[in-house]
A and B are shown apart, each in its own frame.
Chain A
Amino acid sequence: MTRNVVLTLAVALIMLAAGLGVGTYLTGGTTATATITETKTISIVFTQRLSELTTVIMPEVRISVVDALGREIVFDKPPTRVVSLAPSITEILFTLGLQDRVVGITSQCNYPMEAQQLVSKGKIAIIGGFWTPDLEKIISLGPDLVIGSAGTPPHLRLKESLEQLGIKVFYTRAASDKYDVYSDIRALAKIFGVERVAEELINRIEADIMSVETAVPKDEQPKVLVLLGPPGWGLYSAGGNTFIGWLVRTAGGINIADKFTGWPALDYEFILSHDPDVIIVSAMGLNYTVLTKEISETPLAQTKAFRTGRIYLVDQEANDILVRPGPRLGVAVRVLASILFPDIFGPPKIPVVYRFEGGTTSIISAGTAIRPSTAGVFSALTPAT
């Protein structure tokens, strides 16, 4: 009897050591990224190791997930060479601590900083732009999983070609609210067996959102117009079923384009008849003085938002978080809330947000812009440094 106990313990110890060794090798022994605080690091690593152990002991477990297109995708083991086709996907992967498995990202994947650092070190390759993924570059990396977005036609077009070569493709949703994002995070976590990390992340995000939702005044809901670009490009806004639409709602605002779906083209009459209190324009790297000058020369100057000096231009990182349904979801809600209710939430903590009031445009966001502007052809053609 004692012999059996000793034998079992010995085997258990050896397996633990083996598991530790294997786990260390697979994860490189690094800790999770910045968004998860120091105190939690050890437990997360342990949780990872634990789930690794479980995987090792039962090698026959097949992982099955359903992607945004409703297809069931089955993995015998977690992929080790992953290509991400969208910045939001890259953010999720890195936040889940899966950066070692990433071999390809887009030129616009600028968060976290580590992503671009790994590119300059040669550990990750650029496979093209978000809207322009290069099939050949992707294939040359020999990936076993490519993750794209179901709402982006160029990604969908790659499906046949990649699957023909035996490369698995997983599509995340064109998120219209936080639940879509959570589904994606969970599904990706499941593939790699890091469900615990995912749950921690989601709890964190929920906490952030909750803290905003409780602080937001219920009786005062400013009307918001979101413009996806300068007026000259067309008055494109975000419909109620889009991610941005959800963000505005959650941050306590009313999206005047809420009744539309997708990315509707509005006209001045519509905007003026709704008379928004706040106008948020995605600056897309445009020169902000030129942009504000243009705005002041259009009928937008007749809106309440203009008269009360509440025109905001979001650029760079602030712009990124508003359009990427990913782990920085909570941060996005908070930034929007800071724009809508500066008295309650203080200035936005993510650069760059400009405010145009009284004829001048000034930066109101805290923090310095750490990345150069990503606009213009030259940045499109060269990898970001």
Chain B
Amino acid sequence: MRVELKSVSFSYDSTRAVDGVSLEIDSGKTLCLVGPNGSGKTTLLKLIASIIKPEEGVIYLDGKDLKTYDRNEIAKTLSYSDPHLPRTLPARVIDFILTSRYPFHRVFQYFESKEDLELVDFLSKELGISHLLDRRLDQLSSGELQRVVIVAALTKKPRVLLLDEPSAFLDIRYRFEVMDIIKKYTVEYGATSIVALHDIHIASLYCDRVVLLDKGKIVAYGPPSDVFSSKAVEEVYGVKVEIIRVGSSYIAFPLPSCGTSNTPESNNRTSHSGFSSSSSSSE
């Protein structure tokens, strides 16, 4: 499903969280939203998910104004994964995943259908969480939880997949695994994925288009190779970097500023998510 934003703006009180953003992405493609904390990635996702309404501008899904869709239609078409999952009341993984099927129930249908359960089984197998289905959410590790969240999203068979930091807490192996699955789904089902990320490396590997955001405005927009020039990243994150190209992917190498004790060599191979915050523009 084609997603299009035209000059969309939104403010929280007096702060402009999203300022005149225009972008578009086609079916089967993945768009990555990259930017420091507070740049508007989450707000943008919520706008597309219709959780909040834009103050200015229009959002189009398949050429139709998002405002004209009714709630249930939206619920069946797209899925938004909240990175923060409340876990105060005991709830099972399977119950969580099955809530994604609620929009598809008939008006007074009270319980899940056989098809719902089959779908959950299938997806659980794909993501290797079948053994976790009857566990409680608060008994899972972060990695397991993240995969459960993906399954819950995919259970909707959404045409638009909105993911907020899907791999934030995962170690290297799972991080790639999750992105692989997302990519696979996007391509095979012809869905549109919009993923908010910190990690430039992952973004460059998996995204067809990248949107670099700073304080709600688009700073750069295009394929990773265009977006990830050292200057742009530096300006946005406020850190001196060296962009190194490895195969078809990019790695941002933060260069030490005067006064840090680490030498460039020791900064090798460490986690790329999050740049040193010494002079970043994040909150």
A and B touch in the complex (CB under 8 A): no
A interface residue numbers (CB < 8 A to B): none
B interface residue numbers (CB < 8 A to A): none
